Amino acid sequence: MKRIVKLNSPISIISHAAVGGGEERRGPLGDKFDFCDITDRFGMDTFETAEGEMGRIALNTALGKAKLSHKDLELLVAGDLQNQCVGTSLGLNSFGIPFLGVYGACSTCTESLLILSSVMENSPDMTYGAAVTTSHNSAAERQFRTPIEYGGQRAPSAQWTSTAAGAFILGRDEGKPSVTEFMVGKMVDGGTADGSNMGGAMSFAAADTILSYFDESGESPSDFDYIVTGDLGKVGSDILKEILARELPGCERFHLDCGLLLYDSERQDIHSGASGCGTSASVLASHLLPLMETGQINRILLLSTGALMSPSSLLQGQNITGIAPLIRIENKGYKKKNTTVNRK
């Protein structure tokens, strides 16, 4: 079974924007975000609507950068962490764009870009589409964990749901970084029912997708600048690196995790790192795509990792299921191996 899907006419990311909250502003990428609200409320009464507003600001900013109006968009693929995607609908419903909602836990960013580029490739008449992903720490805490002002302690392996949004306008400008391939990941048992260890639970799905990809494509990890995972955090990244080092030695050197880029472990009490689907969306929009646009990096694999679970499934002792869809983003005409980038 061939699982890698090549796009015959690559779909490019012509514009993008990242929006974040207070902790994201304090993080190392804070300056690169298009907009941050240190109160995390974005002028709204509830955290649910704040998440929607964050997505609205992100989409408007990305549209502005591309000098487009929302009327130019023919499809919106978007999602968030809230039940029935209300984090998206509360902010984006007024745009009046045909909409597909995506719930892939924290894999939403890659999943949206995958679906949107695939639909656009098969619809030659379609000019522009948008993908938006949001997550909000307070909205997620309320839904999945404890009240916001509840005095609890987080486990060292726990991650911090980011208050962040990423919006992407997709089109057919060949001069921009393009989605050229994708591979849909399998659902993989995370081996744990511990909601404080999502990174660990997702790492096996990420390993499965990465190893399957290189097995089928026959390429070498060194053909890529980075193999980027969404939000494995410290724990999940360490597990992934151990598996990769064992199964495909050398591959682990190209690994980069968005969950470890968003916050500063020196100044911020991050525990295992960032999580939430806004993490990979905002890091892609604020950090990775600008690097690609300036030619500092040219080819990446992006795997936003998702942990499928609910408060009920965890209380029932059911294992978390990990997912890790993959997309390949590269600059057109890029052939030769890049050796100038200093890898972490």
> Which spans of this chain sit near another protein (rule: CB under 8 A)?
21-23, 39-41, 45-48, 137-138, 141-142, 146-157, 160, 163, 189-192, 194, 197, 200-201, 203-204, 234-235, 238-239, 242-243, 263, 268-270, 272, 319
How many of the other CB atoms lie within 10 Å of CB of 28? 15
For residue 121, the minimal CB distance to another protein (Å) is 34
- Both tokens assigned to 315: 């209380």
The CA distance from 107 to 247, in Å, is 24
Q: Output the CA torsion sign for 279, 282, 286, 287.
A: positive
Q: Cα 132 to chain center, whole Å? A: 10
Q: Which residue do the tokens 């795509």 mark?
A: 289
Q: Is 141 exposed, middle or buried (0-12, 13-18, 19+ CB in 10 A)?
A: middle
- Both tokens assigned to 36: 């941050």
**Nearer CB in complex with another protein: 203/298:** 203
- Both tokens assigned to 42: 């974005």
Q: Is 333 exposed, middle or buried (0-12, 13-18, 19+ CB in 10 A)?
A: exposed
Residue 105's nearest CA partner among 6, 26, 195 is 195
Beta bridge partners of 255: 227
Please state the φ and ψ torsions of residue 104, each to the nearest 5 degrees.
Answer: -125, 35
**Nearer CB in complex with another protein: 55/129:** 55
On whether the CB atoms of residues 94 and 84 are closer than 8 A, the answer is no
The CA distance from 62 to 24, in Å, is 19
For residue 154, the minimal CB distance to another protein (Å) is 8
For residue 259, the minimal CB distance to another protein (Å) is 14
Q: Is 290 exposed, middle or buried (0-12, 13-18, 19+ CB in 10 A)?
A: middle
Residue 190's nearest CA partner among 209, 205, 210, 175 is 205
Q: In the 8-state DSSP scheme, what is residue 295?
A: T
